[in-house]
Amino acid sequence: MARLSLSTLSSLNKNVHLPKYQPENYKAGIVHLGVGAFHRAHQAWYTHQVLNQFGGDWRITGVSLRSAGVRDTMAAQDCLYTASIKGTGGTDNHIIGSIAKLLVAPENPDAVIDAIASAQTKVVTLTITEKGYCLNNSSGKLELDNKDINFDLSNLQSPKTGIGYLVAAVQKRMIANGENLTIISCDNLANNGAKLEAAVMGFAGAVDASLAKWICEHVSFPSTMVDRIVPATTADDKSDVANAISAEDQACVITEPFTQWVIEEKFAGPVPRWDKVGATYVNDVEPFEDMKLRLLNASHSTIAYLGCLAGYETVFETISDPAFKALINHMMTNELAPTLDMPKGFDVSGYSSSLIERFSNSALPHKTRQIAMDGSQKIPQRILPALITQLNTGGSIEGLTLAVAAWMRYIQGHEENGDIYMVDDPMSETFKSDSSLKGEEYINAILGIEDIFSPDLKQNDQLIQKLLFWHYELQNKGAKQTVKDHFNK
């Protein structure tokens, strides 16, 4: 079977949606750091829709910060790939042409710095995951003693981190052309724009005060809320896509019909008309970001940890268990929604029901283990803010504490039947050193990790007692029975 490429586009299956533009007619105007599946199904999807409707020099130069895998795969198919959209009503395949080329940072750091510095680039977008920001959890400042940041500060010509690249490139831009730049974080962090700005300013301040001043005046960091469920692509997905489009595609992404992008309207220069193709520009993203992190991502992480312990492989399988569905409904209604402050008239309960429907999409197997990774970075974003509010206001904390206890149990690295698995988390070594502790000692040790929990939480007796209760329930009965006994109303 031929490989998907510009020259095979015309021979694809008739029902495939092709780009309505000639990709090679448009230049790049965006640089994206972190060209994983999420980017290809989200920001690159929106930009593709802009090109479909309006054209323009808005294609994307994608940057892989570590490995050459995505570049090698995509270069072999002229950077084209399929977004395969799977709903319960069937699958729709779209060929996306918005990515112009890919760079692999360690191979050629100058090319990445030059691409961002170039006056042709108006916008930089990022999906570098929570851990890519290198911020201290309690001070909110850049961790200058983080080993990669430390390396970058003395090796600005060939940095390792996304933050190092941004500062090196913006410095070059300031000298080369002085053009404004909009840098958009697309990671699942509350106030992601402000966080990115804090990281960049922290780094720039350590390099040169006049650079920090220039950034204040010429670079903007809008906050965003990004949403689309994108499971990791499997070999079966690739073969389904090949059959559906009649060409081999090693870079395809599988996603759901739903997609949302809310962007703070704080642009330093031109941006694509993403708002004409489904994105929303608003003055204040925070309520939307909080809503998505707390209702979607907190539920996702709860499903991931309890689902993994219960032996459920996918979100769909987990939510199909009535007791788990009851737990998630209870959390959304009684523990998460009450902590939100949404614009008047916004239908939070409609949003929650639509999430249950999205989790129940049987056509999209989303692995609980995929969501379970990096919990040390996700729990503080997704679960703790609502938990703290509920503790302060005397609200229900049953589900939230069960979620935290399940995560604490998950990071011990063994199944309920004793089988060992790898805990994929930047703090896995810390967890390992605590994993032999028992009961209250274990709970206190994990609660004492200040990179995750603020110090007052480990003094909170109500919290400790609840976590301990769930810890013993999970240990004695297992996750399935625990959820059944307490939530199957």
Q: Which residues of the shown chain bind ligand CS2 in the complex (CB under 6 A)?
A: 188, 227-229, 296-297, 300, 370-371, 378
In angstroms, give the least distance from the CB of 389 to ligand CS2.
Answer: 20
Residue among 5 and 191 whose Cβ is closer to ligand CS2: 191
Q: Could you tell me if 17 and 82 are in contact, meaning their C-beta atoms sit under 8 angstroms apart?
A: no
Residue among 21 and 359 whose Cβ is closer to ligand CS2: 359
Q: Could you tell me if 348 and 340 are in contact, meaning their C-beta atoms sit under 8 angstroms apart?
A: yes
Quickly tell me which residue has 């021979």 as its tokens: 11
How are beta strands 219-220 and 181-185 bridged, if at all? parallel
Q: Could you tell me if 303 and 318 are in contact, meaning their C-beta atoms sit under 8 angstroms apart?
A: yes
Residue among 171 and 188 whose Cβ is closer to ligand CS2: 188
Candidates 350, 354, 338; CA nearest to 400 is: 338
Q: Quote the DSSP letter at residue 134.
A: -
Count CB-CB contacts under 10 A for residue 337. Answer: 18
Quickly tell me which residue has 């650079």 as its tokens: 211
Query: Nearest to ligand CS2 by Cβ — which residue?
Result: 300
Residue among 15 and 422 whose Cβ is closer to ligand CS2: 422
Quickly tell me which residue has 């930089």 as its tokens: 124
Candidates 266, 260, 261, 264; CA nearest to 282 is: 264
In angstroms, give the least distance from the CB of 378 to ligand CS2.
Answer: 6
In angstroms, give the least distance from the CB of 227 to ligand CS2.
Answer: 4
In angstroms, give the least distance from the CB of 374 to ligand CS2.
Answer: 7
Candidates 409, 415, 399; CA nearest to 313 is: 415
Residue among 117 and 452 whose Cβ is closer to ligand CS2: 452
In angstroms, give the least distance from the CB of 486 to ligand CS2.
Answer: 23
Residue among 227 and 248 whose Cβ is closer to ligand CS2: 227
Quickly tell me which residue has 């409904």 as its tokens: 329
Which tokens is 291 given? Answer: 């809503």
Residue 170: phi and psi, rounded to 5, are -70, -35
In angstroms, give the least distance from the CB of 188 to ligand CS2.
Answer: 5
Residue among 149 and 229 whose Cβ is closer to ligand CS2: 229
In angstroms, give the least distance from the CB of 383 to ligand CS2.
Answer: 12
